[in-house]
């Protein structure tokens, strides 16, 4: 009977572990899912597609416009007249139709069309940089929540393990109380630590649930069996290199520069209202009465039109001055954005250096605390240490392990944060580094 149970249990193990592997997510898969499904990123993609329509509209301004119109109907005309023979009434039934076509070509618009073309290109560039920036935000947020779920899962595991250790210690302390080796104070101390550990576990479980909720919001699905990240991404080797990368490729800075070009193009558009406008209009008309085959009239014309504003109350001049002031505002925003980007690079670099040093110290602390726990337990057996000493050593060891889990998560997130701060966090780069 027992052998059959053992064989059946062994037979279902591959199915269990196969299902676990199939549902497990890697950081690479989470990044791809977030990049494809995040609604904030989809909104930025649609904004870029909308901006591209500005380019089509700018091109249309260079092309001629063609329109046709026509009319048809029935008309009855009654004519009263008086002659020597007396009054007479004449009625005529007419079927008039008209058809006309007109083509208009703008020849000179005061450089408005060229300004609109430059404005469209600048808006497309700004939307493209905005999409890149939004993608960086989504990718970094994905890394953050992925690592946070791993970290919080590990902390919950450590706290559950700590509760088991404290429960074992409490049971042993009670047995020693029964034989008179310890006092009730030792039991109370163990009970206090166990209650505190359970409270800490409740807080950690809440943190894990919050991280899982953020993961679902960003990635679009619940985290299941997240696999550890094997290596951190490749980051710039020096602060100067990170600053150069940010100056060359950071999307927020690129978007600000594109918006500055758009402001300059708007000056050209507003100034065109002060310049002459020239267009050519061609028109063809046909009028016919189908009630008689002889009533038909055709005409055609080609006209060059010229207009020049002389006085509009200063409205066009005010718009032009306003657009020039907006250029100054855009330049100031670009400089402010550049300074902010450089400050963020410095902060990300310093955070990464600090995170790596903290991780090194956390590893050393874990090793030292493990030795301390082992020594305290041995010395307690010889009566050289109290129960409180063992509890303190275990608490420090558990805190060291939790600190290492947090330091490891912070170091990984700091690496990706530096990539984002320098403008180098793209999907291809993140996937390649996550897979390595």
Domains delineated in the chain: 27-69+111-276+334-435 (1.20.1600.10)
What is the mean pLDDT of the segment spanning 85-91? Answer: 65
C-alpha pair distances (Å), 201 with each of 48, 310, 373, 391: 46, 79, 21, 17
Higher per-residue pLDDT: 78 or 152: 152
Per-residue pLDDT tens over the stretch 273-303: 999 999 999 999 888 766 655 567 888 899 9
| Percentage of the chain exceeding pLDDT 70 | 87
Per-residue pLDDT tens over the stretch 17-58: 333 334 568 999 999 999 999 999 999 999 999 999 999 999
Q: CB of 72 within 8 A of CB of 97? A: yes
In DSSP terms, which residues pair with 284 in a beta bridge? 101, 300
Q: Specify the length of the chain in residues.
A: 436
Q: Using 50, 70 and 90 to split pLDDT, how confident is the model at 337?
A: very high
Token pair listed for 376: 């305290």
Q: CB of 38 within 8 A of CB of 220? A: yes
**What pLDDT shows up at residue 23?**
55
The number of C-alpha atoms within 13 Å of 409 and in the hemisphere containing its C-beta is: 19
**What pLDDT shows up at residue 73?**
74
**What pLDDT shows up at residue 384?**
83
pLDDT at residue 228 greater than cutoff 60: yes
Q: Using 50, 70 and 90 to split pLDDT, how confident is the model at 97?
A: confident
Higher per-residue pLDDT: 240 or 296: 240
Higher per-residue pLDDT: 393 or 17: 393
**What pLDDT shows up at residue 295?**
67
What is the distance between the alpha carbons of residues 189 and 387, in angstroms, rounded to a whole number? 8
pLDDT at residue 331 greater than cutoff 70: yes
pLDDT at residue 62 greater than cutoff 90: yes
What is the distance between the alpha carbons of residues 347 and 344, in angstroms, rounded to a whole number? 5
Quote the pTM value.
Answer: 0.82
- Residue 62 is given by DSSP the state T
Higher per-residue pLDDT: 393 or 295: 393
**What pLDDT shows up at residue 6?**
32
pLDDT at residue 371 greater than cutoff 90: yes
Average pLDDT, the chain: 87
Higher per-residue pLDDT: 289 or 405: 405
**What pLDDT shows up at residue 354?**
97
DSSP H/E element including 72 = strand 65-72
Q: Using 50, 70 and 90 to split pLDDT, how confident is the model at 7?
A: very low
C-alpha pair distances (Å), 104 with each of 116, 283, 303, 304: 19, 9, 10, 10
DSSP H/E element including 272 = none
Q: Using 50, 70 and 90 to split pLDDT, how confident is the model at 13?
A: very low
pLDDT at residue 435 greater than cutoff 50: no
């Amino acid at each position: 009977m027992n052998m059959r149970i053992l064989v059946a249990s062994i037979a279902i193990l591959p199915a269990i572990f196969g299902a676990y592997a199939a549902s497990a997510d890697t950081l690479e898969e989470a990044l791809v899912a977030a990049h494809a499904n995040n609604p904030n990123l989809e909104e930025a993609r649609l904004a870029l597609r909308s901006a591209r329509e500005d380019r089509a509209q700018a091109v249309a301004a260079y092309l001629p416009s063609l329109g046709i119109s026509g009319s048809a109907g029935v008309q009855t005309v009654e004519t009263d007249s008086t002659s020597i023979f007396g009054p007479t009434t004449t009625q005529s039934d007419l079927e008039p139709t008209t058809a006309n076509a007109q083509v208009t070509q703008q020849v000179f618009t005061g450089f408005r069309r060229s300004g609109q073309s430059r404005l469209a290109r600048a808006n497309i560039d700004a939307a493209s940089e905005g999409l890149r920036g939004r993608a960086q935000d989504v990718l970094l947020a994905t890394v953050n929540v992925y690592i946070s779920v791993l970290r919080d899962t590990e902390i919950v595991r450590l706290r559950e393990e700590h509760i088991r250790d404290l429960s074992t210690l409490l049971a042993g302390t009670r047995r020693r109380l029964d034989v008179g080796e310890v006092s009730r104070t030792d039991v109370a101390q163990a009970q206090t630590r166990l209650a505190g550990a359970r409270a800490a576990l409740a807080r950690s479980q809440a943190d894990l649930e919050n991280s899982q909720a953020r993961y679902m919001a960003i990635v679009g699905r619940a985290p299941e069996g997240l696999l550890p990240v094997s290596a951190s991404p490749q980051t710039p080797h020096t602060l100067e290199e990170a600053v150069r990368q940010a100056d060359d490729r950071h999307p927020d800075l690129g978007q600000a520069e594109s918006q500055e070009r758009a402001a300059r193009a708007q000056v050209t558009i507003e100034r065109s209202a002060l310049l002459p406008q020239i267009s050519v209009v061609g028109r063809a008309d046909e009028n016919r009465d189908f009630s008689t085959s002889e009533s038909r009239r055709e005409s055609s014309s080609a006209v060059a039109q010229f207009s020049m504003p002389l006085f509009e109350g200063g409205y066009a001049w005010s718009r032009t001055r306003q657009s020039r002031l907006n250029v100054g505002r855009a330049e100031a925003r670009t400089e402010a954005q550049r300074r902010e980007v450089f400050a963020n690079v410095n902060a990300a670099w310093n955070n990464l250096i600090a995170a790596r040093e903290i991780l090194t110290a956390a590893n050393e602390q874990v090793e030292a605390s493990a030795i301390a726990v082992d020594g305290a337990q041995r010395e307690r057996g010889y009566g050289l240490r109290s129960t409180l000493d063992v509890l303190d050593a275990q608490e420090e060891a558990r805190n060291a392990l939790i600190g290492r889990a947090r330091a490891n998560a912070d170091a990984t997130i700091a690496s990706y944060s530096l990539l984002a701060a320098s403008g180098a966090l793209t999907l291809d780069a993140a996937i390649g580094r996550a897979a390595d």
